[in-house]
Structure 1
C-alpha cells in the first residue's frame, strides 16, 4: 500500500507546537488515506542553552532572556491561550515550569523505540502547558516513562548515560539542513514543507496535494473506449 511520511520538527516547550499538533490531527482524521500515513516527531530546541531548571516564571524567563517587555509577553500569552482554547486546550502560562527540554526529547526517542512516540509527545506538551509539570525533572520523566509503559531500565539510562542524545542532535542537524528556523514545521515526503500552526484546512490541502503528487493518475489506452464529452457520446 502506498505510504506517506510526515516528519514534524517540534519542541515540547513551544506553545504553538501543541496547537499545531491538534490542527494537524484534525486534518489527518479526515484524510481518506490516513492509514497509509506515517508520522514521525523530530526534535528541536528553541533555547538549547536553558538550564535544566530555571528559577523563575515563564513571563520572567521571556522578559529577561529574550529581552521582551513584560506587557508584551502577557499580551502574547493571552493571544496564544485563546488560540489554544479554540483547539480544546487549557494553557496555564502562570503555572509553566521553565526547564531545558533536551532530556524530554531523548525520552520521546526512547518512546518511539517502543511504539509510544505520539503518546509521549502528547503527555509532555499537555503536562508542560496545562498542568505545570517540570519537564526537566528526573522524577517527572521517570514517572512519565512508567505511565507510558517503558522499561524502567531504559528510562534510567536517560539519566546515567547519553543514550539517544545523538539522535536528538541529528534531528537538530537535519532541521538546520532543511532550513528550518522555527517550529512547528511539517515536512511531507521530504517534498512539501509547512511552517507554523496552520489552520486544519491548510494541512488538508497539503495532504491532498502530497498524495496526488506521490500517486499520479495513469491513463491506460485512454483513446480506445467509448465515452461521453461536451459534444455528445460515442456512437
Structure 2
C-alpha cells in the first residue's frame, strides 16, 4: 500500500492569511480527490504565534493593532485590512475586521492540540478561525474557548481541564521549536513529506500540483520495493 502524503501546516489563529491558505489547501486537495488515482493525504496543523506578546484582552481595533505591531499609519493599516478582506472573499470567506477581537492565541493553540488528541483537530481549527475572523468571537479566554470546543463536539469539562492545566503548552512550544529548526519565519507555511516547503496562502492549483507530484513519487517508491 502506498503511504499517504503528509502535509504539516504551521499557522496562527490570528493570521488572516492562514485561514485563506487553509481554504486554498482544501480546494486544491478536493480537486485531486477526483483523480482516478487520488492521493492519500494526511494534514496536521502546528502552532505558530505571530505576536506572543499580545494581551488576552487587547484594547483597540484592527487599525490600532496593526499600527502598534507593524509600525504603519492607521490609514495604511485599514487599507491593508481591506486588501486582505478582498482576497479572503475570493477564497469564500467573509472577514469582519471591524468586530475582530485581538487576543493572545496560546490557549487557542493548546485547544487545537487537545482536539487533535480527540481526533477533531481540523474541525476545531476551522471553528476557531471562523469565530475569530468571521464572527468576531473572543478566542483567547478559557470560557470562550470551551464554548467553541463544545460546538464542534468536544466535552466541556475535559476541554476546560486541558486548558486550565496547561497540559498542551509543551506541545505548542515543540511546534514552535520545530518551526525555528525549519527556518520558518512567517505563516502559513506548509511542509510536504518533510522535504518540500510552500510559503504563504498559495492558490489552490499550487496545492493540487504538489500533491500530484508527491503522490507520483510515492507510487514510484512503492513500485521499487
Q: TM-score, normalised by structure 1?
A: 0.89
Partner of 2:55: 51
Contact kept in structure 1, 2:107 and 2:141, CA below 8 Å: no
- Distance in 2 (alpha carbons) for counterparts of 1:17 and 1:27: 15
> For structure 2, which runs of at least 5 residues remain unmatched after alignment?
none
Quick check: 1:72 aligned with 2:76? yes
CA distance in 2, matches of 1:86, 1:160: 38
Q: How many residues align?
A: 220
Deviation at 1:214, TM superposition (A): 2.5
2:176 maps to: 172
Q: Is the 8 A contact 1:192 1:210 kept in 2?
A: no
Would you say the 8 A contact 1:28–1:34 is kept in 2? no
Structure with bigger helix share is 2
Residue in structure 2 matched with residue 146 of structure 1 by the alignment: 150
State the distance in 1 between where 2:217 and 2:39 align.
Answer: 18
CA RMSD across the alignment: 1.7
Following superposition, the deviation at residue 157 of structure 1 comes to: 1.6
- Secondary structure of 1:215's match? helix
Report the alpha carbon displacement of residue 92 of structure 1 after superposing the two structures with TM. 0.6
Checking the alignment, whether the CA contact within 8 Å between 2:39 and 2:211 is kept in structure 1 is no
Matched, 1:157 2:161: yes
**1:137 offset after TM fit, Å?**
2.0
Q: Are residue 18 (structure 1) and residue 22 (structure 2) matched?
A: no
TM-aligned CA deviation for residue 208 of structure 1: 1.5
Q: CA deviation at 1:35?
A: 6.0
**1:61 paired residue number:** 65
Displacement of 1:48 after TM fit? 0.9
CA contact (8 A) 1:7 1:186 kept: yes
Q: Residue deviations 1:37-94, cap 9 Å, x none?
A: 1110011010011111111112101112331111111111111100110111100111
> What is the CA–CA distance in structure 1 between the aligned matches of 2:169 and 2:215, rounded to whole Å?
33
Larger RCO of the pair (alpha carbons < 8 Å, separation 6+): 2
Equivalent residue, structure 1, for 2:186:
182
The verdict on how the C-alpha distance between 1:117 and 1:75 changes in structure 2, with shifts beyond 3 A counting, is: same
C-alpha spacing 1:155/1:69, structure 2 compared with 1 (3 Å): same
Q: What residue is the counterpart of 1:232 in the other structure?
A: none
Q: Distance in 2 between matches of 1:132 and 1:53?
A: 13
Structure 1 unpaired stretches of 5+? 221-235
- TM-score using structure 2 length: 0.93
Higher alpha-carbon Rg: 1
